[in-house]
Structure 1
């Protein structure tokens, strides 16, 4: 049953020190999402997919100089979507946020993108103006979920062809224990299927050839059915896992690493050669309490798993001129 996932009230903007905003392009399903921490947050990253599209990930290495970032950008549009981070940088600079370099401040905004170029006109994609608009929309209110922002053009279950895929999206979840909140924001555009992370129920993914139900990609692969050749990088799940507990850079990197455990609970297959799965981690240091790292990491993996499932449960089919819209979880025929 999915009622527990739909009823989950936590979200990443409950992490103190963060604001979240989306921009969804009005002309086709694509967009970007930002997680802002203007006062700075310790950050890490873990890239598990074999075909990533990223910006400013090297500076997050624990051995490198920079200790904090000021935002994270997630975007559609494949490599072109990385330009959305430039708009986020400009927005933060205008507000005096960034690394002090004496003559000014440089906002540091790592980014990751997913591939949504087959949905509508690929010439329409997130740019710097889109990133700026997402920042303008950012707040500490519960972020919109489903077919918005970086998840607007997402699809899941493409392993046996785009024509058998379902609508992906973006989702969020969080947990609070002893004054510490851990939250996640996940844009799910996986080549694999998405499952209920607690019950194992198949939620969305590759449909049967008649389109009237779910095939179950994992079982099909185990039975020897060969996947369709896919353009490398034409998928990818990206996201942010964050806490308001203070972290070192090494701990932030480990937080991103265990976040991928949550992806593996909700997506199968995951971290493939056609995915660029990337998770960023943030620690704002604004919590009232502290947690042991085992507890912190357990909350992180669970938040990522639930956010991933919510991304497909709250997605909606979006009409695209000249194309058949992919069905979503809410479409009854796709849920048989």
Structure 2
């Protein structure tokens, strides 16, 4: 009689990377002076773009440009950065690098690179006066490649941590992760920097991977269950967390479809982060369509792929992270517990 046992998560899927999507390159800059940095996702030939902002305290650049009713239908890069609002300055360096490469929207007298972006708050980790700037954005572009990007404590994930509901002293290190899914000759990939207030949960097992720890710091607490038991969270400032990222596909998309893809990708955050989209998070996801596959698949399938790749990338961001100690602040990683 054939076995009915389910395959293990490892047997079920391979992670892949956002750079499996034709037309996408990724570069990181990590500041060695403290854990912060930025990541850039480049589409030199332009990509149809959309965005969906779910968190209540976002820090973003040029998201209005991506409204389906607005004029421009393609962008040339997306910036993800630490440093809170200061980190948006890194986009200036991305614009400068793209202009030097002759990449941008032809406005007659010049080519104008279009670079939306989003930031996360990592100022509590290390010296808050050190944050990504234009030079950091330029350096991330210089490092961009189509190979599988590094994960964990790099780029926009360098200073990211999770599980801060019960205080930073009980949080854990997270980072940036990537994954991809291919169906019928079309690929969807995700690159996600995870700095969530909540815990990271593996959707395949429903187990917490990284997040708030017990009072003695030696085990995972499970924030969802703790909150439902009535344990009081520690008050935090709005926007001091945030998960940001990009989903990209080689499918042919309209601008409205790109926006819908970003919307559906947030389902991946909801499966892999709990709680998510809180008043203290600025969760923002961009969607890019390069059209390199030369075909389209139904939005039902494409959106399902986007949510899956996003959830996988979140879990990888937690699993790839390494522990960090800065003075009295100790942030263990998933591997340590």
Give yes or no for TM over 0.5: yes
1:122 paired residue among 104, 108, 128: 128
Partner of residue 142, structure 1: 148
Q: Measure, in 2, the Cα distance between the counterparts of 1:165 and 1:36.
A: 32
Q: Deviation per CA, 1:154-185, whole angstroms, max 9, x where unpaired?
A: 01000010110000100000011121110000
Asked if structure 1 preserves the Cα contact closer than 8 Å seen for 2:169 and 2:330, the reply is no
Partner of residue 266, structure 2: 260
Asked if structure 1 preserves the Cα contact closer than 8 Å seen for 2:15 and 2:312, the reply is no
Q: Deviation per CA, 1:217-248, whole angstroms, max 9, x where unpaired?
A: 00011111111100110000000001011111
Asked if structure 1 preserves the Cα contact closer than 8 Å seen for 2:65 and 2:72, the reply is yes
Partner of residue 19, structure 2: 13
Please say if 1:290 is aligned against 2:296. yes
Partner of residue 327, structure 1: 332
Q: Measure, in 2, the Cα distance between the counterparts of 1:245 and 1:173.
A: 17
Task: Give the secondary-structure state (helix, strand or coil) at the position aligned to 2:331.
Answer: coil
Aligned residues: 331
Please say if 1:274 is aligned against 2:290. no
1:220 paired residue among 226, 230, 234: 226
**1:77-92 correspondence to structure 2 within 5 Å:** 77-92=83-98
Partner of residue 29, structure 1: 35
Q: Deviation per CA, 1:185-240, whole angstroms, max 9, x where unpaired?
A: 00000000010012101111000011010111000111111111001100000000
Q: Deviation per CA, 1:61-117, whole angstroms, max 9, x where unpaired?
A: 000011110000000000000011111000000011111000001100000000000
After superposing on structure 2, the runs of 4+ consecutive aligned residues of structure 1 that deviate more than 6 Å are: none
1:233 paired residue among 217, 236, 239: 239
Asked if structure 1 preserves the Cα contact closer than 8 Å seen for 2:252 and 2:294, the reply is no
Pairwise CA distance, 1:324:
2.8
Partner of residue 3, structure 2: none
Asked if structure 1 preserves the Cα contact closer than 8 Å seen for 2:51 and 2:259, the reply is yes
Q: Measure, in 2, the Cα distance between the counterparts of 1:5 and 1:300.
A: 20
Task: Give the secondary-structure state (helix, strand or coil) at the position aligned to 1:163.
Answer: helix
Partner of residue 184, structure 1: 190
Q: Measure, in 1, the Cα distance between the counterparts of 2:294 and 2:181.
A: 15
Q: Measure, in 1, the Cα distance between the counterparts of 2:11 and 2:315.
A: 8
Partner of residue 244, structure 1: 250
Q: Measure, in 2, the Cα distance between the counterparts of 1:239 and 1:170.
A: 9
User: RMSD in angstroms over aligned alpha carbons?
Assistant: 1.5
Task: Give the secondary-structure state (helix, strand or coil) at the position aligned to 1:258.
Answer: helix
Q: Deviation per CA, 1:7-51, whole angstroms, max 9, x where unpaired?
A: 834100010111001000011000000000011000000000000
Q: Measure, in 1, the Cα distance between the counterparts of 2:234 and 2:330.
A: 20
Pairwise CA distance, 1:319:
3.7
Task: Give the secondary-structure state (helix, strand or coil) at the position aligned to 1:31.
Answer: strand
Task: Give the secondary-structure state (helix, strand or coil) at the position aligned to 1:135.
Answer: helix
Partner of residue 301, structure 1: 307
Q: Measure, in 2, the Cα distance between the counterparts of 1:233 and 1:151.
A: 16
Task: Give the secondary-structure state (helix, strand or coil) at the position aligned to 2:179.
Answer: strand
Q: What TM-score results when the alignment is normalised by the length of structure 2?
A: 0.96
Asked if structure 2 preserves the Cα contact closer than 8 Å seen for 1:2 and 1:196, the reply is no
Q: Measure, in 1, the Cα distance between the counterparts of 2:160 and 2:216.
A: 22
Task: Give the secondary-structure state (helix, strand or coil) at the position aligned to 1:330.
Answer: helix
2:139 paired residue among 128, 133, 144: 133
Q: What TM-score results when the alignment is normalised by the length of structure 1?
A: 0.96
Task: Give the secondary-structure state (helix, strand or coil) at the position aligned to 1:118.
Answer: coil
1:312 paired residue among 298, 315, 318: 318
Pairwise CA distance, 1:5:
9.4
Partner of residue 208, structure 1: 214
Q: Measure, in 1, the Cα distance between the counterparts of 2:212 and 2:333.
A: 11
